[in-house]
Amino acid sequence: MTRVNTADLAFGLFLMAVAAVALYLIAELPMGSTSRMGPGYVPRALAVMIALIGAFIAGRALFAAGEAFPDIAWRPILLVGAAVGMFGLLLPRLGLAGTAFMVVLVAGSASKDMRWRELLLIAALLSTFAVLLFVKALGLPMPIWPVV
Amino acid sequence: MDLIANLATGFAVALTPANLAFCFLGVLIGTLVGVLPGIAPITTIAILLPFTFTLPPASAMIMLSGIFYGAQYGGSTTAILVNLPGESSSIVTCLDGHQMAKQGRAGPALAIAAIASFFAGTIATIIIAVASVPLSALALKFTAAEYFSLMVLGLTGSIALAHGSAVKAVAMVLLGLLLGLVGIDVNTGLPRMTLGIGELGDGIGFVAIAIGLFGISELMIALSRPQDRTLLSVALSQLWPSRKELKDCLPAMLRGTAIGSILGVLPGGGAALSSFASYAVEKKISATPERFGRGAIEGVAGPEAANNAGAQTSFIPLLTLGIPGNAIMALMVGALMIQGIQPGPQVMTAQPQLFWGVIASMWLGNLMLVILNLPLVGLWVSLLRVPYRILFPAIALFCCIGTYSISNSQMDIGLMLLFALAGVFFVKVGAEPAPFILGFILGPLMEENFRRAMNLSRGDPMVFAERPISAALLVLTALLLVVLILPAVRAKREEVFQE
């Protein structure tokens, strides 16, 4: 137990930050009147409501003891995240065959009980399967091999 | 009889070889993801959305809806045999279903789950067909004010039924509404919150958000939990329940179907809630409540009927009003819009083939599911032996390919990653993502109708209270809010979600 409810505090602050960014981004947009609303009217109303509710949640959290912020398992988040990022960066240049292989390798290593040999085999199989299904059968416009 | 003519139209569409194949594919995939814990139907539908682009609208919808109700069947198999809910809607099936399996009655438990599901699916199909015509007719009278009030009711419903804190659910809805507005304002052509990025002019990609929040982030979270499954080696010697068991189950199935049909239509409702409610009712009215949790067959029949009925009737608001009642229906709206169809009451008259075809396919799909699930149950169980470490890299890859294929955009992959990380954060702080996705879909629609209604009334907000249907919807919303705030109900609600 902690003295403040850290999870709620984090969520409340997150909401306030999102509202602040939104209000900054729409600062230039005209409000209009209630009968002829401009593009800024509804987003601004929503952002203010989000800020208020965020302040409420964060404020309430300061006075309520709660569980400590839940532990975060970074390994799967980083590795799966990296695999996704790699897909976006590599695909247009490396082609689907190579990208799929890499993505499966990186994502697959996120599991605690992974075995390298098995993973290499799965990566090769999935890469072949993806090329056959998505490019050959479904005709998605993606390069298969590296683009020079 | 219009109903029969309409259903005939529907069956003519659903019975074409291509659509039968898509229906079969949908329920097959649905059963598959239903059996496997860790892959939810919402994830699957999100991943498959992009690949339905090239299909005709009816085939796409037939397949996607098959995944949804198919998962309700598959989920119960895992619940009964492994004591793991394949889906959130089969959590209560674990209670008595698995006990029955331990007592050597796995066969009757599986059979009654399938029979109850099929029974409920048949009735729910008829309910959809009967209810949709008058509802669409009513909806055609709706003006901007009614639509706005209806969406307020829908969003309030999703808040009331969200797990965990209601305040956080409100925040998630508002967040969804706000992000839904990113893009070019349709009335003025001015870009809003696009950070000057041209690609964001059309708004944040719906598929990228959905797959990020429900696909990738689920992987990241699931991998941090231990992945152990103990399979109960069951001998399926006797499959059919005895005549007495069937007789005991019939009233439970009827009540379950009724509960599911009603809760499914409610905004925010659907399969999971229906099964919880049905189990509570069966336990309460039973002459021997102490049997529940120890292998009472009614405790399987009722909830299984309810979750399937709820899954299907949750299509009613979508098909007739164009308003999605839960996150999966929001994805269906996405699927329709990708096809260039604006969901709404006009779909029934403008696209009768699509409308009635989807409804008729639900009954055919249910029939296929009984056949898929009873004789082939052994096959599905062996699937559970596939370790998660082999499954999840494949899911990650398909998520990427699906999102990228929408518009061959690297930015969509970036957005997906961003929302995956946000999804992990939301789960960690106890804020459910389902109300967010509902808000995101309804954001632009709500703003447009709000602005139009206020414009027509020359800025007088009383327009929402003066029009009778709109006023009635707002009164319902207010009642829902009052009920939500009442301390007794609040305690009860938390208790229900605790179980």
* Tens-place pLDDT, residues B291-347: 888 888 888 999 999 988 988 888 888 888 888 877 788 888 888 888 888 888 888
Q: Which residues of B touch A40 (CB under 8 A)?
A: 192
Q: Which residues pair with B184 in a beta bridge?
A: B191
Q: How far is A42 from chain B (nearest CA, A)?
A: 7
Question: pLDDT tens digit string along B390-405?
Answer: 888 988 998 898 888 8
Q: What is the ipTM of this complex?
A: 0.94
Q: Which DSSP letter does residue A32 get?
A: B
> Residue A100: is its pLDDT beyond 70?
yes
Chain A 66-95, residues with CB within 8 Å of chain B CB atoms: 69-70, 72-73, 75-77, 80-81, 83-85, 87-89, 91-92
What is the rounded distance in angstroms from the CA atom of residue B152 to the CA atom of residue B474?
Answer: 8
Q: How far is B447 from chain A (nearest CA, A)?
A: 7
Mean pLDDT on A90-103: 93
Contact (CB, 8 A) for B137 and B244 = no
A34 close to B (CB below 8 A): yes
- Which DSSP helix (H) or strand (E) runs through B183? strand B183-184
The structure tokens listed for B34 are 């239903």
Q: How far is B186 from chain A (nearest CA, A)?
A: 9
Highest averaged pLDDT of the listed ranges A16-20, A36-40, A91-95, B453-457:
A16-20
pLDDT at A120: 93
DSSP, collapsed to helix, strand or coil, labels residue B192 as strand
Residues in chain B, total = 499
- Percent of chain A at pLDDT exceeding 90: 57
Amino acid in the structure at residue A54: G
DSSP, collapsed to helix, strand or coil, labels residue B184 as strand
Comparing C-alpha atoms, which of B394, B435, B50 is closest to residue B205?
B50
Q: What DSSP letter does each residue of B383-401 carry, written as one string?
A: HTTS-HHHHHHHHHHHHHH
pLDDT at B499: 44
Highest averaged pLDDT of the listed ranges A44-53, B255-264, B468-477:
A44-53
Question: pLDDT tens digit string along B175-190?
Answer: 999 999 998 888 888 8
Other C-beta atoms lying within 10 Å of the C-beta of residue B19: 24
pLDDT at B18: 93
A50 close to B (CB below 8 A): yes
Question: pLDDT tens digit string along B6-64?
Answer: 889 999 999 999 999 999 999 998 888 888 776 778 778 887 887 787 888 999 999 99
Amino acid in the structure at residue A17: A
Contact (CB, 8 A) for B270 and B324 = no
CA angle B132, B136, B1 (to 5 degrees): 55
- Do the Cβ atoms of B401 and A111 come within 8 Å? no
Which of A53, A84, A141 has its CB closest to that of B167? A53
Contact (CB, 8 A) for B369 and B114 = yes
Q: How far is A127 from chain B (nearest CA, A)?
A: 9
Long-range residue pairs from B468-473, CB within 8 A, at least 24 positions apart, any chain: B469/B138, B469/B141, B469/B142, B469/B146, B469/B149, B470/B145, B470/B146, B470/B148, B470/B149, B471/B149, B473/B146, B473/B149, B473/B150, B473/B152, B473/B153
A28 → chain B, closest CA residue = B192
What is the rounded distance in angstroms from the CA atom of residue B170 to the CA atom of residue B439?
Answer: 10
- Do the Cβ atoms of B397 and A80 come within 8 Å? no
Lowest mean pLDDT among B27-31, B81-85, B113-117, B397-401: B81-85
Q: What phi and psi values does residue B145 have, to the nearest 5 degrees?
A: -65, -45
Residue ranges covered by each domain of chain B: 2-144+202-434
B388: burial class by Cβ within 10 Å (0-12, 13-18, 19+)? buried
Contacts of B92 (CB under 8 A, 6+ apart): B275, B276, B278, B279, B299, B303
Q: What phi and psi values does residue A32 have, to the nearest 5 degrees?
A: 75, -170
Handedness of CA B421, B424, B425, B431 (dihedral sign): positive
The structure tokens listed for B483 are 């009920």
